[in-house]
Amino acid sequence: MNQRAWLTLAYGYISVAELLLLKERFGAIDAIAAQSEQRLRDAGLPGNKAQKVASPNSAALDDASEWLADERHHIVAYGSDDYPELLTQLSGPPLLLFVNGDIDALHLPSLAVVGSRNPTRGGIQNAVNFSRHLTRSGFAIVSGLAQGIDTAAHRGALEVGGRTVAFLGHGIDRVYPPQNHDLAHQIAATGALVSEYPLGAPPDKRHFPERNRLISGLSLGTLVIEAARRSGSLITARLAAEQGREVFALPGSIHNPLARGCHELIRQGAKLVETAADIAAELPHLAIHLQQNLIESTPNQSPLPDQDGDYAKLREMLGHDPTSIDELERRCGLTIDQLSSMLLILELHGEVESLSGGRYALIA
Amino acid sequence: MNQRAWLTLAYGYISVAELLLLKERFGAIDAIAAQSEQRLRDAGLPGNKAQKVASPNSAALDDASEWLADERHHIVAYGSDDYPELLTQLSGPPLLLFVNGDIDALHLPSLAVVGSRNPTRGGIQNAVNFSRHLTRSGFAIVSGLAQGIDTAAHRGALEVGGRTVAFLGHGIDRVYPPQNHDLAHQIAATGALVSEYPLGAPPDKRHFPERNRLISGLSLGTLVIEAARRSGSLITARLAAEQGREVFALPGSIHNPLARGCHELIRQGAKLVETAADIAAELPHLAIHLQQNLIESTPNQSPLPDQDGDYAKLREMLGHDPTSIDELERRCGLTIDQLSSMLLILELHGEVESLSGGRYALIA
């Protein structure tokens, strides 16, 4: 492919619809990028775009070429073999994807896991939990690298050695929010960071809804963990439904304002899910594939943490009666953070049940 | 009406279908009760029923007549003006209702509020809360006098001066469970206890599903607050759906086993509700009636408990940050029980919000 020509079109904000128009008139990508502003205008391209393609910002293109020198950095053009089939089905597919990581990660059966940037602790646990289980069921996890549920979703996948894809609302060479710098590195190491924006493009409010169509678009379904009414996650869910993909939502307490968005989705027809298995059950065409992945992934599961003195103590102090984490803090002499993490691990191993009111109990 | 004849048929376990058959043959109720066993058999009545009607247990009928001497005690026969119209729509309407209380309570727009006998504290709060709000919206609350959600539902209605109806799975002269003795008295004082079983009939496992058809049958809709999978509340909900009535269910945390039954109902098409207003919105044909009731009932609302020193202290100690009840116990020097009740009252007045993890906060 002619990288420079593709970058020129992408930096001119050419849409796929416009690309198809220009190809009909001028043939190959190289030929399009070589046209004068007037000829591009005559072909129907708006003036500002024609100008940008005919007189590109050479320094910006040089920066992009330099960025592409890294072997983990790629651009994936519309129509190429590397371009994800599911994105071609969108009404406005991206012309060019900037990818930091493994392009193969864009071709796995994927599920989007999204939600509030300010979730409850329970919401974070649920996001990690579902993400881990879905990863083990053979799905790649797609999200948006935002704080809160997105972060928990990416982390859950990474923790069990899975692949996760983050779509960014800004240039691929930036990280936003800054505290997710390390997480972004981990995602790129085994999965992929993906953006359709030019290098250096800042996080822009208008980009995020656009970006959301790619999160839902690459995914067979979108799972909303916790979301307020009128929040970005509901936009992603709406886009998923418009794209003919499944929408899944976690119910929650009627007193949790972050369950309201999920309840709204369920009322509108989203599938109510309680477990990762509920999601797999809705995607039966993947059953065989998932079954294979499940068998392959089983040996990778971490062993039960039963040798560790702290875990033995926690089990003993917990028992089968619902017990709050505050009470466990008193009984075990461990910090809330330690307990929280240990309880989550025991929960993921099916040893501990998380109950209402932030209480826990051993499963009999 | 001829009470003795109706009691004779009821104590013979004559169904409404059989009643209609016998009326066609013999005319009036008195005439039916006067037939010989052979003639009743010839008319198509099963042998055991024919025997019971032709040779009734006089002592049992005397007991029932004696019970009926109390002015609050009634029998309501199928076909009479006092018989609730909604029950005539059932596929197996009861022949005779024993009523302790006010017959008018059977003719109000009603909603069933049902759920687990072993609910969470949050479930009890929700039941009380919904029941109070629905009562204030002009509904009578129908339930089954069981422990847990049923009890909370009846109490919620009574607390705001509303009317509530309890259908019993045993004779009207008994109270089960025994700890609901006082509650039963309160219900009978303004609403009604109702049974279709002979006096003295013990609580029988088989009676409860039968009884459930009356709970849903007298109601425009059935609200399930908390219910395990495969529980009696789901039977009531299924019967409501079969009877063409609305089914409402409260969502809850995916970690609360008592939310699972509700989630199952929502998946099957029950309306997900977060507030009492969600229920009223689904019953628009009642809107005008409810509006009137709302206006009438407003002056009856209890005043805000703002004069009380303990409430002032609680408000001050609570603040707008989510705070656990354990923490409030430490801060206020009040017992968990006191705090729980005070927080509920403030919540019902819209001053306090109940958050996830058993935490509370003042509403700004």
pLDDT tens digits, B178-207: 999 999 999 999 999 999 999 999 998 889
- Beta-strand ranges (E) seen in A175-245 are 192-195, 221-224
- Chains A, B: CB contacts within 8 A come to 84
Q: Is the predicted pLDDT of residue B296 greater than 60, yes or no?
A: no
Distance, in angstroms, between A269 CA and closest chain B CA? 10
Residue A128, token pair as written in the block: 């990690």
Of A333-342, B141-150, B242-251, B297-306, the least confident: B297-306
Distance from CA of B217 to the nearest CA of A (A): 25
User: Which burial class, exposed, middle or buried, applies to B127 when counting CB atoms under 10 A from its CB (0-12, 13-18, 19+)?
Assistant: buried
pLDDT tier for residue B298 given thresholds of 50, 70 and 90: very low
CA distance A202 to A326: 42
pLDDT at position A293:
42
Q: What is the DSSP string of B66-121?
A: HHHTSTTEEEEETTSTTS-HHHHTSSS--SEEEEEE-GGGGGS-EEEEE--SS--H
Nearest beta carbon to residue A358 from set B252, B260, B357: B357
Q: Looking up tokens 């407003």, which residue turns up? A: B298
**Looking at the partner chain, which of A121, A251, A271 has a beta carbon nearest the beta carbon of B252?**
A251
Name the interface residues of B facing A (CB cutoff 8 Å). 120-122, 126, 250-256, 258-260, 263, 266-267, 271-275, 324, 326, 353-358
Instruction: Check B255 against A324: CB less than 8 A apart.
Output: no
Would you write out chain A's pLDDT as a tens digit for each of its 364 residues? Answer: 699 999 999 999 999 999 999 999 999 999 999 999 999 999 999 999 999 999 999 999 999 999 999 999 999 999 999 999 999 999 899 999 999 999 999 999 999 999 999 999 999 999 999 999 999 988 999 999 999 999 999 999 999 999 999 999 999 999 999 999 999 999 999 999 999 999 999 998 889 889 999 999 999 999 999 999 989 999 999 999 999 999 999 999 999 999 999 999 999 999 999 999 999 888 865 544 444 444 343 333 344 555 567 888 888 888 877 888 888 888 888 877 678 767 766 765 667 877 766 778 887 6
Strand bridging mode B192-195 / B96-101: antiparallel
Q: What is the pTM of this model?
A: 0.77
Closest CA to A163 of A142, A194, A184, A133: A142
pLDDT of B327:
85
Q: How far is CA A153 from the centre of its chain?
A: 7
pLDDT of residue B95: 98
Shortest alpha-carbon distance between residue A357 and chain B (Å): 4
Contact (CB<8Å) B272/A266: yes
What pLDDT does A343 receive? Answer: 76
Residue ranges of E strands in chain A:
73-77, 96-101, 110-114, 140-143, 164-167, 192-195, 221-224, 246-249, 271-272, 323-324, 352-355, 359-362
Hey, are the CB atoms on B254 and A324 less than 8 Å from each other? no
Tell me what pLDDT residue A308 has: 65
Interface of A with B (CB under 8 A): 120-122, 126, 250-256, 259-260, 263, 266-267, 271-275, 324, 326, 353-358
pLDDT score recorded for residue A305: 56
- Identify the closest residue of chain A to B359 by CA–CA distance: A357
Q: Do A254 and B251 touch (CB under 8 A)?
A: yes
Mean pLDDT for all residues in chain B = 89
- Choose the mutation target among A255, A278, A354, A363 for the interface with B, i.e. most B CBs under 10 Å: A255
**When comparing pLDDT for A162 and B330, which is higher?**
A162
- Closest by Cα among A263, A311, A30, A210 to B259: A263
Taking residues B92-104, report their average pLDDT.
Answer: 97
In chain A, which residue's Cα lies nearest the Cα of B130?
A254
- Which residues from chain B sit within 8 angstroms of residue A260, using beta carbons? 274
> Between B254, B271, B357, which is nearest A357 by CB?
B357
- The predicted structure's pLDDT at residue A354: 74
For residue B319, give the nearest of B355, B295, B348, B283 by alpha carbon: B355
Candidates B77, B78, B139; CA nearest to B107 is B139
- Cβ neighbors of A159 (< 8 A, separation 6 or more) are A128, A132
Helical (H) or strand (E) element with B132: helix B121-136
CA nearest B354 in A: which residue?
A255
B294 three-state secondary structure: helix
pLDDT in tens, A215-267: 999 999 999 999 999 899 999 999 999 999 999 999 999 999 999 999 999 99
Render A265-311 in DSSP notation, one character per residue.
Answer: HHHTTPEE-SSHHHHHHH-GGGHHHHHHHHHHHGGGSPPP--S-HHH
A162-to-A132, A141, A192, B223 alpha-carbon distances in Å: 8, 8, 12, 42
Cα end-to-end distance, chain A, whole Å: 60
